[in-house]
Structure 1
């Protein structure tokens, strides 16, 4: 800068001897290398034919300097020719960054480019210095107080420079102490427990809570402020925050000074503005009530509830504002919720985009918001959720733009991103209970864009084979009644399993219907017929032989079922929130070889414990029996327990009644029973170092359960009628991972009270079959 000002002064002096105005007959520019002459002429406020004096020359030099292209500018006069001599600033030939790990090179380069430092750009030393300081500030924000950024400029031929930016990131400073000063209403430990920033304890190997970050501290302070405002302390204030750094830049000490103020209660709650809905109904939506402790959270939640309620009446753009009026003498707050509904909006048109394969009809039948009706916020959002649950789309977005030229109409635009809804798969896996698993299937959940589901499958293991074809139309009627049918053939050979040695071949089919009761509930009905043939061997227990002697080895059963299901889960695969339950009754009706029934209830519930821990409670209860001329439920319809999805730590299907093989009295096989009780209590936790937990579930668990029989035969052992004292327990850790080959599931479990002929198994795993 000093050199340039000096050049301007010299340039002015070079013209000064003439001390007379002159008419410019020509302009000559010397020293250009990369900058074009046209750029200079465009910036130069002097043209040929101008009558100029020395001050005009100085002004022209300043105008050229302001372009930023030149380090030095000299003005001179040769007769009536104006001579402009320039020294261009160098261009950047290359930028090299070394030593950075915490911040990616690409991100640093992007930041440099936004600030004007990029290959081919004009180099300015002042900009480089500013960037160096900004990079240091970024590292300081990450808690790397020892970070140092140096920049070297290497001259290159043809007036170019190469920049070398050397990064010494240093280590993230760890928190050694967090303190809150000035609190009296709440214990210090309770307040510090709100902070994400914490001093790490000896057992927190993988925690990053002790790594200081300015952003984390800002979030902690806001969390502390919300804590007090939600508990009546409306004058709460954080008076100061001190962050002290040790001389070695490795330790951080945080002190937060607070002024709690007084605790306020609500004296009155009023409604103002244009309510639209009856006041009595509006008051039922008010969460804040007189004599309650003031809470900012209750105010904002009430605002949202009232806004949504008005949106359901068509006032899509309603605005509700909670206005607190404190009385500092009485330490009370008067709340007034002011309602501004705006104009009522109607839906002109519902549009879909992005569905290149799926018919518009498939999307339109999921709509709960109708065209021509008043806009209903709940129905618009509900329609979006229904589209997401179809499984055909990666993402669904909705917009409600106003119709141009109107003040009371909107369009509802749904934008979808389709994903493959069909698959042709082949799988291989292994299960300890079933051995080698081979499978193949062709499945199309959105067949030809119609929304119908078609599946053809083949699965084979050491124990079983299954061939099936199924079809399902989710909208057999316009009301959402579904209809489907299945045709299947399966064989089971239990000679190599823990179940009693026999083989069963079954061929059958059924027709099923589903009727929605609500958005989350449905009832299902099916009717079908199957034929089963039992083949025995030398190891088949005598109790089975006796049953087959009485009933025969071939069974033709007409089966019907009636079920109810409800799901409020956040997703279908490995859910982490919500609940689901189902109840089904199936029976072989009169006209069948045997007549029996089975009643099954399943339920699970997820309860958050902390930000990262969730409790899962699940149970499965079953009861079966015979009726009519059949004396007992067929043994091949019995319930079984033990293993994955049941009581881990015990071998698959090994719990409950057992019978000795005829050819080996010391070898017992499971018989199952007509009563099933089982459940689990799990604590789900994230696996360290894994960012995406959606395809992974890790847990510690406590399982319980057993199979009972109401008609225990003298030929079986470990048989009892339903008795809670006979439940088996286990505890351990488990993991399920959705891999490209299929679900990989394993557990390490300890059987806590094995009895009698129970068979335990500490390590269990399965690949290719769902848990």
Structure 2
């Protein structure tokens, strides 16, 4: 039989349109495939071709299967040309591979880190090693423009350069001309009557710029920020009685040169309404009195949407405490427009009671399940309890190992009285290796090194090595904390340390107080916020004589020895419900610590109490108070050890006075501290002008008072030093930075004044 030779080819650009014509023009008689050969492959594996063909060796081939094969091979996205050739009963598949992307580079990009742009392109499928085509490059340009528009760089231009290289690869270079960012020139609020335009604009994070706009970028338009500002505006009106307030439109206009943006917000205020009555309706499980106590909507007061939402949430949570996971509470307004009054009917339907069948954990790739489960207060096979679930979520979040913690409730199919809980977490790096340096007006140059792992090997344990050096205080410490030393949540901490210190004096001197020790501490949780600590340590302290050593130190050393060994036992209590440990705006922090030297060469008792209270005055202003009392006394006829003295003055105590210089002085004039201390601080904190509502950069005004007293002196308010001033706090990449300018308003002869002070890492 004479062999026939037919060839047909389908190009990428006209593949789907011409397929029918190709099949008809180059039709072949059906035959049994004896062999399949593939030509033109460079990087693609032959198995990829064979797996995509709709026929195998030994099967019948026809034109329909040939067309399907071409469609399948083009569908892989790996080839820019595909041909099928029939040579007798042998089918030859000839392909031309698309070039692959060898490298992606960016030229002229200053606003973004290159890794950020590469990540954005990777998400649309353009990255090293992937096939390249022009449509993908066009999508990449559009994605890059979108990234720049999000940064208010509306005039950014992008040019793509494709450079072919060996082995059928290409290099892509995106040349960016960023231009100047578009800035908000004007923000207008139209339709307002009750509140001034300047008051309403003050609610926004977006603004027309200030002297710190280079840092906050608040004058750059962002859709997300505008949406948040509109919510702030709506909340402002709804919380002040304007029940029917609405935002009619927001118009964003950009100038022809793409440099200036104008935002216009059109609002309708409506009338201001006063609450006339609040009634309960529906099924309240016979606990109407308990639910009434949760109502924060007060008749006679202006309508406040926040209080309505707070009340309905409190009702839902209270239903949840009894197992009603699907309770529905609706606040129905009855509006009297003639008198501008509104009554609320709180309608409740508890639905059905539910058990928690299973608690699932998702997202913990490194952290062990038990680390999360031991924080849960909602148990499986128990009544659904909203309070315990919230408490569980907060406890997991407070571990500090996760970026996000969310709990979702889902029905159990076929079991209407059961639910499953799924806690989804997003882990964050919990280990750190830090090398750093800091400078303060008191400490001068301080170098630090630390290796810390807060979630060692996913067990929830803490391991740390810390080294710190400064002019006055040097430390090397090793720490280990097991937060669940016992199944009941008793923590155990082991510390080994070596510290050297001396008072803050500018007279120079090379004397030192060196303390080496090791300690063991335990923490017992008594509630969700309260923990009691106790422990003991073995310490060896040496007073090393040198130039300018205070006479009191020499006198103590001559009486009790230059070296002393002590066994201090410690006990303390802490409670912290602040909303943030670094930049708090609400909540309270309390700490009590006591230490008793019970054995060795020293006998003493030392105690300290600290209270911090943060009160939010509004969205921008926070009132903060700090108080601290310290007291110590020698026991058994011994003097209180000089190396356990308290010090005061400067940042962290009474600003405006030189660091650590308040209190008793010896005959040489050196400050020696004392066993009694009192410190009081008050601050009004607000975002820095021009920084919007950015909490990382804030300014504050303050009043400080305090002093240190000797062992035989009484606490006398008449001897308190006091100061007033202003300051700046910045949560910088290397730690909280605070700068204070203070003016002493109560000082005494001999006090050392320092009006400008700064430090990294102090609290008050």
Question: TM-score of the superposition, structure 2-length normalised?
Answer: 0.69
Match of 2:500 in 1: 460
Q: Whole-Å Cα distance in 1 between the matches of residues 671 and 53 of structure 2?
A: 98
Query: For 2:185, which of 176, 201, 212 is the aligned residue?
Result: 176
Query: What is the 5 A alignment of 1:540-551?
Result: none
Q: Whole-Å Cα distance in 1 between the matches of residues 493 and 157 of structure 2?
A: 61
Q: 1:107 to 1:13 in 2, by over 3 A?
A: same
Q: 1:10 to 1:709 in 2, by over 3 A?
A: closer
Match of 1:616 in 2: 624
Q: Could you tell me how far 1:199 is from its partner in structure 2?
A: 0.8
Q: Whole-Å Cα distance in 2 between the matches of residues 655 and 50 of structure 1?
A: 100
Q: 1:251 to 1:559 in 2, by over 3 A?
A: closer
Q: Could you tell me how far 1:88 is from its partner in structure 2?
A: 6.1
Q: Whole-Å Cα distance in 1 between the matches of residues 31 and 367 of structure 2?
A: 72
Q: 1:430 to 1:765 in 2, by over 3 A?
A: farther
Aligned-pair RMSD on alpha carbons?
Answer: 6.2
Query: What is the 5 A alignment of 1:33-432?
Result: 33=40, 42=54, 90-94=98-102, 95-117=104-126, 124-153=133-162, 163-202=172-211, 206-276=215-285, 278-324=287-333, 326=335, 331-346=340-355, 373-383=382-392, 385=394, 406-409=415-418, 419-420=455-456, 421=461, 423=463, 425=465, 427-431=467-471
Q: 1:375 to 1:755 in 2, by over 3 A?
A: same
Q: Whole-Å Cα distance in 2 between the matches of residues 33 and 594 of structure 1?
A: 88
Q: Does 1:650 align with 2:662?
A: no
**Contact 1:240/1:256 (CA < 8 Å) preserved in 2?**
yes
Q: Whole-Å Cα distance in 2 between the matches of residues 293 and 704 of structure 1?
A: 41
Counterpart secondary structure, 2:519: strand
Counterpart secondary structure, 1:465: strand
Counterpart secondary structure, 1:705: strand
**Contact 2:410/2:420 (CA < 8 Å) preserved in 1?**
yes
Counterpart secondary structure, 2:383: coil
Unaligned 5+ segments in structure 2 are: 1-10, 428-453, 502-510
Counterpart secondary structure, 1:668: coil
Q: Whole-Å Cα distance in 1 between the matches of residues 78 and 603 of structure 2?
A: 95
**Contact 1:143/1:214 (CA < 8 Å) preserved in 2?**
no
Q: Could you tell me how far 1:187 is from its partner in structure 2?
A: 0.8
Match of 1:722 in 2: 716
Question: TM-score of the superposition, structure 1-length normalised?
Answer: 0.68
Counterpart secondary structure, 2:552: coil
Query: What is the 5 A alignment of 1:572-611?
Result: 577-581=586-590, 601-608=609-616
Q: Whole-Å Cα distance in 2 between the matches of residues 124 and 332 of structure 1?
A: 65
Q: Could you tell me how far 1:278 is from its partner in structure 2?
A: 0.9
Q: Could you tell me how far 1:210 is from its partner in structure 2?
A: 0.9
Q: 1:624 to 1:141 in 2, by over 3 A?
A: closer
**Contact 2:721/2:747 (CA < 8 Å) preserved in 1?**
no
Q: Whole-Å Cα distance in 1 between the matches of residues 568 and 17 of structure 2?
A: 102
Q: Could you tell me how far 1:762 is from its partner in structure 2?
A: 5.5
Counterpart secondary structure, 2:624: strand
Q: Could you tell me how far 1:309 is from its partner in structure 2?
A: 1.3
Q: Whole-Å Cα distance in 2 between the matches of residues 363 and 59 of structure 1?
A: 52
Structure with bigger gyration radius: 1
**Contact 2:70/2:82 (CA < 8 Å) preserved in 1?**
yes
**Contact 2:478/2:496 (CA < 8 Å) preserved in 1?**
yes
| Post-superposition CA distance 1:71-112 (Å, at most 9, x none) | 78999999x999999996844444554333434544544544
| Post-superposition CA distance 1:326-351 (Å, at most 9, x none) | 55565554434343434333456889
Q: Whole-Å Cα distance in 2 between the matches of residues 579 and 389 of structure 1?
A: 16
Q: 1:533 to 1:71 in 2, by over 3 A?
A: closer
Unaligned 5+ segments in structure 1 are: 507-531, 537-554, 662-666, 713-719
Counterpart secondary structure, 1:142: coil
Matched pairs, number: 694
Q: 1:277 to 1:367 in 2, by over 3 A?
A: farther
Query: For 1:501, which of 552, 569, 572 is the aligned residue?
Result: 552
Q: Whole-Å Cα distance in 2 between the matches of residues 288 and 259 of structure 1?
A: 24
Q: Whole-Å Cα distance in 1 between the matches of residues 323 and 165 of structure 2?
A: 68
Counterpart secondary structure, 2:308: helix
**Contact 2:12/2:81 (CA < 8 Å) preserved in 1?**
no
Counterpart secondary structure, 1:303: helix
| Post-superposition CA distance 1:398-456 (Å, at most 9, x none) | 7777778754456778899872445464634234xxx3535445554559778333334
**Contact 2:253/2:262 (CA < 8 Å) preserved in 1?**
yes
Counterpart secondary structure, 2:706: strand
Match of 2:430 in 1: none
Q: Whole-Å Cα distance in 1 between the matches of residues 719 and 531 of structure 2?
A: 46
Q: Whole-Å Cα distance in 1 between the matches of residues 383 and 266 of structure 2?
A: 52
Q: 1:317 to 1:13 in 2, by over 3 A?
A: closer
